[in-house]
Amino acid sequence: MNHPSVDYIERTGYPAGFPEQAQYGFDGLGNEVFAGDEILVFNDEFFLKETLFQESIELLGVLGAEERRA
């Protein structure tokens, strides 16, 4: 039997008292993106910036990707 706080964290991913983040969707690589995350938008696709290598970020920038917040 788990403590109720442990059950809450396992269910939501957040400790009790913290607001749950709204899910924005999944990026082009299958990463879960939440509102407020930094993303790179290229054509009709977006990518979670924190999961990309620096070289990938630079390449997307050269290709014209825009930095935004989800």
Q: Based on the number of CB atoms within 10 Å of its own CB, is 9 exposed (0-12), middle (13-18) or buried (19 or more)?
A: middle
| The two structure tokens encoding residue 54 | 């620096």
Cut 0.85: pTM above it: no
Residue-wise pLDDT tens digits, 6-61: 777 777 676 666 666 788 999 999 999 988 899 999 999 999 999 999 999 999 99
Residue ranges of domains in the chain: 21-69
